[in-house]
Structure 1
Amino acid sequence: MRYSSINQSRSGVALNPILNLFDLTGRTALIMGSSAGIGYALARGLAGAGASVVLNGRNEERLDKAADTLRREGATVYTTSFDVTHAGDVGSAVAQVEENAGPIDILVNNAGMQRRAPLHEFSATQWNELMRTNLDSVFLVGQAVARHMIPRGRGKIVNICSVQSELGRPNIAAYTASKGAVKMLTKGMAIDWGPHGLQVNGLGPGYFKTELTEALVKNEEFNAWLVGRTPSRRWGDVDDLVGAAVFLASDASNFVNGHILYVDGGVTATL
């Protein structure tokens, strides 16, 4: 298929008509858990596609540092720090983002944590903490943002799932349960909010090199097992997620709803 003409992006820059589908210029994206790691990489990628980004994190010093770095790269950046597990805090914080940064067009639910222990040794406190962070936050922030998106008749929500939404490993049963629940919550959101013009999808990373996985990367036995288990024969780099995130956040995915896109080097494809 060939195109003999070009379109103008929202910024006035000439683009191929297909590339124009991925242009996020003029849109505002709220990315949870984005002061480092995967969340930061996604925020940087969305900003690179033209979006204004709102960073969120618990550590305000790291949050400000991340924002300053993106601003030096030319991005329009705001920050917000609030308890994603507290309904009252979430509602008021989202309202403030809407007022200060503009209507939220894109939400990336990336807040998450990991706790490792055999399930019979896992405490109720650990279970509740993990579920509040990994699952409740997706419901609370997603609902708060959707209440603003629905009257506008449009919006993109990307929930960060995991290969553990499909697959288990020893000592992470609680995490697997939380990510499996996020997968199904994503589908439920798409069903309830799709008629209002929203697209809600999941992005499922495989094993990526981040601060949280540094110990596993350095574990020679685990590293050899994982690389041998992965058809692409390597760990993921956080930038590998950017293209998929931009797709799910853009007009290119306007008829994609309730889908989980795994970016895992093929781990979920093989035994």
Structure 2
Amino acid sequence: MTSNDLGDFLRARRARLRPGDVGLASYGARRVAGLRREEVAVLAGMNSDYYARLEQGRERSPSPQILDSISSALRMDDEAREHLFRLAGTVPEGVRPRPRETVGSALRQLLDGYPNAPAFVLNPATDFLASNALADALFSPFESVDNLARMTFLDPAARSFFTRWERAAEAVVAALRHAAGLDAHYRNLHDLVGSLAGESEEFAALWSSHTVYGKTRDGKELLHPDVGPLSLTFQTFDVRGASGQQLVVYQAEPDSPSAQALALLGSLHATRHQGSATER
């Protein structure tokens, strides 16, 4: 996160659009990708010098009306628009409680109530706060199950575990961007971004692209060394009463090969766990 996150975000969004995407004709050679600042200003119905000051960080207090116009001009979806508003400081600090880093006993019991589905709890920095037995089995190929972003970019197992690694990598960075817009001063997230940007060029490139979205449901194509390919869907739920926590539940289609593979994975994990306990 930089001192001009708003300007960086606007430039990144502008670079994604071509004149034809927004109904404009293209004239002359373009030195940079995407729309020109003047074109965004025209689309947003504002002075081009004012828009330039926004991108340069010389204007930091745009009105909600200005932000609405810019978000429409740059074809932002709801989540990107929300991120834009928060970067501009239109949400007063202190309104959003700090993320809670501990999981209550009732939520842990709920996790264990999904014996046939991997379920786990993440904070906004994608730290694993709790997981059930099948989630432990699912992520067992990783050296450490501590932070989903670090696992995705730094653990060698991720490249084979996520069969569509590029998509998984983009999704986790986009979720981090979304979380940063909700709370730019969250220390865990700030430290994670700084660390990963220094350790992974791929993370740094994705972070600088300013892609932002939160996931509530999607598909996952995984390859587990013990049971083979898994085609799963997942649902994400905000945890009421525990700010920042998200419950993630993976599921397989009933009676599908992936469901059978998950059942086998759970059985293998339980057998190994019992064997380890016996040895002790």
TM-score (normalised: structure 1): 0.26
Quick check: which has more Rg, 1 or 2?
2
TM-score (normalised: structure 2): 0.25
